[in-house]
């Protein structure tokens, strides 16, 4: 009888906290995703797979390209934006005390330099019109870095700002307003079928980084210190699901970007093959250096006097690594990657 009562008490100790936790209301927040591309995939899976909910969050994913993400978190409309590192650094340079970068889920991009078939190669873009969303944004900087590989300086092309996202840049190319533009997958897939061609791809240049960061306002973090950890844990588990479950990953992507399953599978294969989604999301020193160099190559985007140490904080990822979160999530085989990324992290 005593043993039975003891078992009942033990069960109560285990079950009651779980029931209390389950009854606690989820925290409602919005998160901005600035691109309909593979860079946003961890958020799509975290939402559709219930990983945000697992960590106590009721997340509304809101699209907003370019500077809208920074505007949303600054205005309190969103808790976080999956910002390009370029955008985050530019915004932070204007007010280093307002923003903080707490991790990075992507460092390689699949931006393709697309042109009409009549253009033979990238070198022929000198003195031609290049469509960008806006001067100084991430695709602009990627384009500057890409053209430099072919000996073309920023002042040697005519920039055509079109606003919004990759779809508008593609439209500028199709309509003849531009002779070239950088497009992400899957935006450039339909153009290939229409006779346009790729003359260069960022994925082929290891020294051109296309990094994204977990960008918060310091005000948001101070008001809810547990929130960044909940988001990073949720999206890290979503990245594991990405690599483990192609069918679910494709389904989750299509929920936010109505592309054909075949095209989404093509993107998936490209990302998975090159391991582009970071399992251990440190902000990397090499990425910061590359992107600062890209920005400083053009007077329109210079960051020469800005110290990125004012806004980059890898301490949360460091703590999760020391606590064994990544090994628990991905298995003991991730230990070498954790050590490698820790050494490469921005200090």
User: Contact at 8 Å (CB) between 203 and 106?
Assistant: no
185 sits in which H/E element: none
Q: What is the pTM of this model?
A: 0.81
* CA dist list (Å): 290 to 34, 101, 164, 346: 21, 17, 25, 12
Report whether 84 contacts 66 (CB < 8 A): no
Q: For every one of its 347 residues, what pLDDT tens digit does the chain have, with 9 covering 90 and above?
A: 444 544 444 444 444 444 434 557 999 999 999 988 889 999 999 999 999 999 999 999 999 987 889 999 999 999 999 998 888 988 888 888 899 999 999 988 778 999 999 999 999 999 999 999 888 777 888 898 899 999 999 999 999 998 777 888 999 999 999 999 999 888 888 899 899 999 998 888 878 888 899 999 999 999 999 999 999 999 999 999 999 999 999 999 999 999 899 999 999 998 999 899 999 999 999 999 888 877 666 665 667 678 899 999 999 999 999 999 999 999 999 999 999 999 999 98
Which helix (DSSP H) or strand (DSSP E) does residue 208 occupy? none
Measured between alpha carbons, how far is 266 from 186 in angstroms, rounded to an integer?
9
Cα dihedral 205, 206, 210, 214, rounded to 10, equals: 170
The Cα–Cα gap between 280 and 277 comes to 9
Compute the distance between CA of residue 167 and CA of residue 239 in angstroms, rounded to an integer: 26
Residue 236's Cβ-side half-sphere holds a number of Cα atoms within 13 Å equal to 24
Output the six-digit token pair for 30: 């919005």
């Amino acid at each position: 009888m005593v043993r039975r009562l003891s078992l009942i008490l033990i069960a109560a100790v285990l079950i009651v906290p779980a029931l209390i936790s389950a009854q606690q209301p989820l925290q409602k927040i919005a998160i901005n995703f600035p691109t309909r591309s593979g860079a946003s995939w961890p958020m799509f899976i975290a939402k559709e797979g219930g990983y945000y909910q697992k960590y106590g969050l009721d997340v509304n994913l809101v699209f907003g390209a370019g500077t809208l993400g920074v505007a949303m978190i600054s205005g309190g409309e969103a808790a976080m934006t999956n910002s390009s590192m370029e955008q985050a650094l530019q915004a932070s340079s204007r007010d280093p005390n307002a923003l903080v970068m707490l991790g990075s889920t992507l460092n390689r991009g699949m931006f393709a330099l697309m042109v009409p078939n009549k253009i033979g190669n990238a070198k022929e873009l000198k003195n031609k019109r290049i469509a960008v969303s806006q001067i100084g944004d991430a695709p602009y900087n990627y384009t500057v870095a890409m053209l430099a590989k072919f000996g073309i300086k920023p002042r040697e092309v005519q920039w055509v700002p079109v606003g919004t996202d990759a779809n508008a840049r593609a439209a500028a190319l199709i309509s003849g307003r531009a002779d070239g533009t950088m497009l992400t997958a899957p935006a450039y897939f339909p153009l290939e079928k229409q006779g346009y061609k790729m003359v260069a791809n960022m994925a082929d240049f290891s020294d051109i980084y296309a990094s994204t960061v977990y960008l918060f306002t310091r005000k948001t973090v101070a008001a809810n210190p547990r929130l960044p950890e909940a988001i990073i844990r949720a999206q890290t588990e979503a990245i594991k699901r990405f690599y483990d479950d192609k069918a679910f990953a494709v389904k989750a992507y299509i929920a936010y970007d109505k592309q054909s399953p075949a095209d989404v599978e093509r993107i998936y294969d490209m990302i998975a093959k090159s391991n582009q989604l970071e399992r251990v999301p440190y902000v990397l020193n090499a990425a910061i250096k590359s992107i600062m160099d890209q920005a400083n190559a053009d007077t329109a985007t210079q960051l020469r006097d800005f110290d990125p140490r004012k806004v980059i904080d890898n301490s949360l990822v460091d703590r999760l690594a020391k606590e064994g979160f990544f090994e628990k999530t991905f298995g003991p085989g991730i230990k070498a990657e954790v050590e490698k990324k820790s050494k490469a992290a921005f200090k």
